[in-house]
Structure 1
Amino acid sequence: MSIKSVAAKLFAKRIYHKTLAWANKPIETQETVFKSLIKNAKETQFGKDHHFDSIKTVLDFQKHVPIRDYEDLKPYIDKIKTGEENILWKGKPLYFAKTSGTTSGAKYIPLTKESMPFHIEAARNAILHYIHETRNADFVDGKMIFLQGSPILTEKHGINFGRLSGIVAHFVPKYLQKNRMPSWETNCIEDWDTKVNAIVGETIKEDMSVISGIPSWVQMYFERLQEKSGGKKIGEIFKNFNLFIYGGVNYEPYRAKFEQMIGRKVDSIELFPASEGFFAYQDSQKEKGMLLLLNSGIFYEFIKADEFFIENPKRYTIGEVEKGVNYALIISTNAGLWGYNIGDTVQFTSLAPYRLIVSGRIKHYISAFGEHVIANEVEKAMKEATADTNIVINEFTVAPQITPSSGLPYHEWLIEFENEPENFDAFAEAIDNAMRKQNIYYDDLITGNVLRKVVVTKVSKNGFQEYMKSQGKLGGQNKIPRLSNDRKIADNLK
C-alpha cells in the first residue's frame, strides 16, 4: 500500500464525518444557506428589485421571487456580460459557463468565487466517500482520465467564458496533475473526433485506473481503443481499471454494453453536476440514489412535476418532500440564480439522509395522449426488457407517432443495438408490458385501443453519433434526450 493511498483513506474518513455533520441536520443546514444567500445579495440589483431587505422567511422569498427559467433571467445576465457589477451576485462572476439551450440557443451561466469551490469539492468528495466505504484506494496510484470539453477560455469585461468541464480543468488539484490524462494540448482540441483519437493514442499504453465522463462519449472512447488494439477488451488494455465515474445521463441503459466491452464489472460513482451547480453525488455503493448537497451554497425548492404547469404551484422545501414523487428541481445559488428552474426532475429514494435520482427533464416527456411518460420510466422498461437476455443496447430514444400511415398511433422506440434480439416482436412486447406496469395512463390507452403497442425501430450503427454530429453537438457535455413529445429527433434518425 502506497503512502498516497494511506493518505487518501485518512482524508476520506475526515470528509465522511464532515458530511455527516450537515447531512444529519438537513433543515437547519438549508436554513443557514438560505439566510446567507439573502444577506449577501441584498445590495445587488436583483436583491433590490425583489425586496431582499424585507425577506425574513422562505414564504417571504416565494412571495417576492417567482420561478424563472433562463429567458426570464437573461436581462440580468446581459447586463453582467457588458461588465456591470452587483447585478445577480456581489461583484462580477469569475466565469460564464456556456451551455447549449433548447429554446434559448446558447446559455451563459455565472460561476462566482463563492460557487466555484463547491464544484471542485463535490467531485473530490464523491471519490473520498467511495474510498471510505470500500477501503479501496489503490487506484490513486494509477492514471485517471476525465473526458471533457476544451479548457480554452475567452475573456471579455474581466470575465472568462468557456464550457463548464473546461473551466473545471483549470482547478485540478496539484496532487492529481501527474496522474491526470489526457495532456493539456490534447484536451484543447475542439473537434471531438480528432480529440478522441488523440486521447486513444496517449492513453492506450498507460495504466488507467479511473475513467470519467458521460457514458455515451466514454463508449465512443472505448470503441476507438478496441479498434486500435485489435479488438482487445478494455479490461485487458487497462488491467487496473476498476472505477468508472459518470454523470449527465443514467448509466443503466449502457451498463451491459460497458461490461461487455470491459470484460468484467467495475465499480461506478454517479455524479449530478451542472453549470448551475453541483447538486448531488453517489455517497454509497450499497444505497440507491445520490446524496443531495445541502451545504453547498444552494437553496433547494421542489415543485411536483404533475403540478408544474399550473398557475402558482406549491413550492416545497427540503423538510416537506416525499419519497417516490417526481419533482421539478428549483434552485437559488451563490452564483446569483434565484428561483431558477434547471429543467431536471428528481425523485427521492431516501429522506435520512436525503438521496435522490434524476428522473428526467420537465420538458422531456411524452404526453401526446395524456400519458405523461417520463425518462425514468422508459429507462426502467428498457432495463427490464433486456434483463437476462443477450440483448445489448448502444443508445435509444422514444417518440410518439401520432399520424401513422395505417393503424392506431403508437410510441416508437428508436434503438441502436450492439446485440439484436432474436425476436423483435417479443422484445417490443416486453418493453410494452414494462411500460404498462409503471404508467397507469399508458396502460389505459393501450387497453382502450387509443394506442397500439410499442413499435421498435432499428437505428443503423453509429446513427446517434452521426445525428449529434449533424447538429453540431458531438462530444463534450451534449447528450441525446431519452424521449421527446415531438418527432424532430426520430425523423432525423430515420
Structure 2
Amino acid sequence: MLSLKSALAKPFAKRVYKSVQKWANNPLSTQNKVFQNLISKASATQFGKDHDFKNINNYNDFIKRVPVRDYEALKPYIEKVVEGQENILWKGKPIYFAKTSGTTSGAKYIPITKESMPTHVEAARNAILMYIHETGNAKFVDGKMIFLQGSPILEKQNGIQLGRLSGIVAHYVPKYLQKNRMPSLKTNCIEDWETKVNAIVDETLPENMTIISGIPSWVQMYFEKLQERTGKKIGDIFKNFNLFIFGGVNYEPYRAKFENLIGRKVDSIELYPASEGFFAFQDQQGEKGMLLQLNSGIFYEFIKAEEFFNENPKRMTIADVELGVNYVMLISTNAGLWAYNIGDTVEFTSTKPYRVIVSGRIKHFISAFGEHVIGKEVEQAIQEAIKDEKVEVSEFSVAPQINPNEGLPYHEWFIEFEKEPENLSSLAKKIDVLLQQQNSYYYDLIQGKVLQPLKITKIKKGGFQDYMKSIGKLGGQNKLPRLSNDRKLADKMEALNLTK
C-alpha cells in the first residue's frame, strides 16, 4: 500500500514533467529569453558597464563585447566580489561562494546568488520527479536516502558564506525529505573521508536504504566497506535499494563492478551538477544523454574542441550544434559568470530535446605527440576491451611515456584491477586497437611508427585511493583525472610505490 508521501509524489511528478516539457520543446525561445534577462539584469553591474551591456541587443553583439574567459581571466572581478564589493558581476552580493580546489589557480571561489541557488536545488529534485513520472515507481520516497557529499560546515568571508557546493546544497534538502536523509549532521561534518565513510557504514547498516547517491568512485568505497563488514552483497543488505543517483564522472567504467557489488541491477539517474551551475540530468531511463537545463538562468555557448585553441574559434549557440561533435561548453549565468569556460567538453546525443554527455575535460587530454586523445575515447576503449572478458577494473588513468628506457614512446595505462586479465599484453593490444579505431591521429602515429602500442602498468589494490589521499583529495567531490598530458600523476604513483 502506498504511503501518503509516495501517493502525493506522483501528481507532483506529473506537474513537473509538464513544466519541463514546455521549455524543452521550445529550446531556442527559452534560451533567448534567458539571454535577454541576463543582459538586462546585469547591465548596471561593473562587468556590464565594462562590456557595454546597454548596447547588446543580440548574440552577435555579445560575442563582439564579451570574450571567452576561464577562472584566471575572470579572477580580477571575482576578487572584488570576495572582498565584499557589490554589483560587480551580478547585482548585489552573492549569498555563497562554492569553494573548489583549482589545479592552476589554487582555491577557486565560485559565486552563487539568490537567483542561481534555487536552480541547483530544483534540477536535482526534478531529476527524481521525472524518474517517478516515467517509471511510476515512488515507493523509495518512504525509505532512507544517502547523499555522499562534502561537509555542510560553512565559513564566512566578508559577510558571504563559503563551503563546498555539496555542503551548501545540504542546507536545502526539502522538509518532507529531512527525516529520510542520511547521514546524520554529526557524521556529515567529519572532515577525514575514511573516518566519515566508516561512520556512514555504522549509521546506514540497520536502515532501510532505498536511494544511494554520490560520485561512483566514492560510493564504491562505501559499498566495499559495507561488504567487508557483512560479507554480503549490497542488494542483500539493503533489500529495497533500487535507485542509484550519480554525477561528476562517466558511470560506464564502474557499471560492471557496481552490479557485482550490489548483486543485481538497479535503476540509475545521471546528474551533471557543478559549482558554476546545474547543467543537465537524465530525464529518461532508455535514452543516452542528459537533458540540458535551458530554463535555469544559464545561457550556453559552444566551441568545437578541435578549434578551441585556435586564435579566433567560432562560438555558437544550441541552434548550430551537431550530434556527435566534441564541444567546449561556455556559460553565462545569473550568478555572474560570463562566456565562462568551465573546462568540460560535451557531445550532443539528441537535439530534440537537447541532451548531452560529458566527453571529458579540455585540459585532460593526451597530445604529447599531436594525437589529442580525450577522456571519452579512453573510457570507451577500455569498456569495449573488457566487455567479454572476465576482467574487472576499479580505476585507471593514462599518461604519456615520452622517454622510455628502450624503444619508441607510448601511452602508459595505470590500471587498478578488481579481477586481473589472464594475459595483460593481449588486453593492452585490444585496448590499443579500439583506441586507434576512434582516434585517427593516434592510428596514424602507431601505423607511422612514431609511437609503439600502449603498455599497462598494474596498480596495487587501493592504490588510487592512496594517491588521492597523498595529494589531499580523498573523497567528497574530488575526481581522479582519466588523462594527463604530463608525468606528474605517473611519477607520484611510482614514488609512492603503488605500481606492482
Which TM-score band (shorter chain)? over 0.9
Q: Deviations over 1:12-49 (max 9, x none)?
A: 11111111100011000000000000010011000001
1:280: which partner in 2? 280
Question: For 2:12, what is the secondary structure of its paired residue?
Answer: helix
Distance 2:425 2:193 in 1: 37
2:251: which partner in 1? 251
User: Does 1:394 pair with 2:394?
Assistant: yes
2:56: which partner in 1? 55
Q: How does 1:89-488 map to 2 (within 5 A)?
A: 89-229=90-230, 231-488=231-488
Letter in 2 for 1:347: E
- State the Cα distance separating 1:380 from its structure 2 match: 0.3
- Give the aligned CA root-mean-square deviation in angstroms: 0.7
- State the Cα distance separating 1:332 from its structure 2 match: 0.2
Question: For 1:330, what is the secondary structure of its paired residue?
Answer: strand
Give the TM-score taking structure 2 as reference length: 0.98
Q: Deviations over 1:258-312 (max 9, x none)?
A: 1111111111110000000000000011111000000000000000000000112
Q: Deviations over 1:446-479 (max 9, x none)?
A: 1111111110110001100000000000111101
More divergent stretch after superposition (161-170 vs 129-138)? 129-138
Letter in 2 for 1:134: T
Structure 1 runs, 4 residues or longer, greater than 3 Å off = none
Letter in 1 for 2:454: V
Q: Percent identity?
A: 72
Question: For 1:144, what is the secondary structure of its paired residue?
Answer: strand
2:497: which partner in 1? none
Question: For 2:411, what is the secondary structure of its paired residue?
Answer: strand
2:498: which partner in 1? none
Distance 2:135 2:400 in 1: 44
Distance 2:76 2:447 in 1: 49
1:3: which partner in 2? 4
Q: Deviations over 1:195-249 (max 9, x none)?
A: 11111110011110000000000011111111111x2111111111111000000
Distance 1:321 1:401 in 2: 35
- State the Cα distance separating 1:4 from its structure 2 match: 1.5
Distance 1:411 1:266 in 2: 35
- State the Cα distance separating 1:429 from its structure 2 match: 1.2
Distance 2:73 2:252 in 1: 35
Question: For 2:345, what is the secondary structure of its paired residue?
Answer: strand
Q: Deviations over 1:346-386 (max 9, x none)?
A: 00000000001000000110111111100000000011011
- State the Cα distance separating 1:390 from its structure 2 match: 1.4
Question: For 1:145, what is the secondary structure of its paired residue?
Answer: strand
Q: Deviations over 1:144-202 (max 9, x none)?
A: 00000000001122200100000000000001000000001110111111111111110
Distance 1:440 1:312 in 2: 25
Count how many residue pairs are aligned between Structure 1 and Structure 2. Answer: 493
Question: For 2:284, what is the secondary structure of its paired residue?
Answer: coil
Distance 2:166 2:4 in 1: 30
Distance 1:154 1:67 in 2: 31
Distance 1:396 1:465 in 2: 11
Distance 2:312 2:157 in 1: 38
Distance 1:9 1:491 in 2: 53
- State the Cα distance separating 1:388 from its structure 2 match: 1.8
Question: For 2:425, what is the secondary structure of its paired residue?
Answer: helix
Q: How does 1:9-20 map to 2 (within 5 A)?
A: 9-20=10-21
Give the TM-score taking structure 1 as reference length: 0.99
Distance 1:432 1:360 in 2: 19
Question: For 1:228, what is the secondary structure of its paired residue?
Answer: helix
Distance 1:296 1:435 in 2: 37
Question: For 1:449, what is the secondary structure of its paired residue?
Answer: coil
Distance 1:263 1:160 in 2: 42
Letter in 2 for 1:237: I
More divergent stretch after superposition (72-81 vs 290-299)? 72-81
- State the Cα distance separating 1:10 from its structure 2 match: 1.1
Letter in 1 for 2:274: A
1:72: which partner in 2? 73
- State the Cα distance separating 1:490 from its structure 2 match: 1.3
Distance 1:154 1:236 in 2: 40
